[in-house]
Amino acid sequence: MSIVKNVKYIRDEFFDNGKLAAQSMQDMIWHIENDPLPDRSISLVTDACFMELVPLIAKHLDHEDDFVRELTVGSIVGGLKLPVNKTV
């Protein structure tokens, strides 16, 4: 069993190298899916523009914590600038 790197370590790796190793990306996915408060991983997805992880963070739009929901909306619409479907 491997040890999952914490989000701070993953963040440092990304900003030091401009990319993540495959295992670090898997660890990032683990944090998005398993952390009770995934705010740090959502912020890293936004800061690093990991567009492939947007569907994973979008699952937190109905998170029980108000802050996590607000951060998720802000990340998807504001930080990542994904278009919002408008209905007339």
Per-residue confidence band for 84, with pLDDT thresholds at 50, 70 and 90: low
28 within domain boundaries: yes
Taking the C-alpha atoms of residue 19 and residue 37, their distance in angstroms, rounded to an integer, is: 24
57 within domain boundaries: yes
84 within domain boundaries: no
86 within domain boundaries: no
Burial letters 40-63, b for 16+ CB under 10 A, else e: bbbbbbbebebeebbebbeebeeb
Residue 88's pLDDT is what? 44
Residue 78's pLDDT is what? 77
12 within domain boundaries: yes
Residue 82's pLDDT is what? 58
Q: Please give the residue range of the domain that contains residue 51.
A: 7-79
pLDDT tens digits, one per residue of 52-81: 999 999 999 999 999 999 999 988 887 666
48 within domain boundaries: yes
87 within domain boundaries: no
CB 54 within 8 A of CB 45: yes
pLDDT tens digits, one per residue of 17-27: 999 999 999 99
pLDDT tens digits, one per residue of 3-56: 999 999 999 999 999 999 999 999 999 999 999 999 999 999 988 989 899 999
Tally the domains of the chain: 1
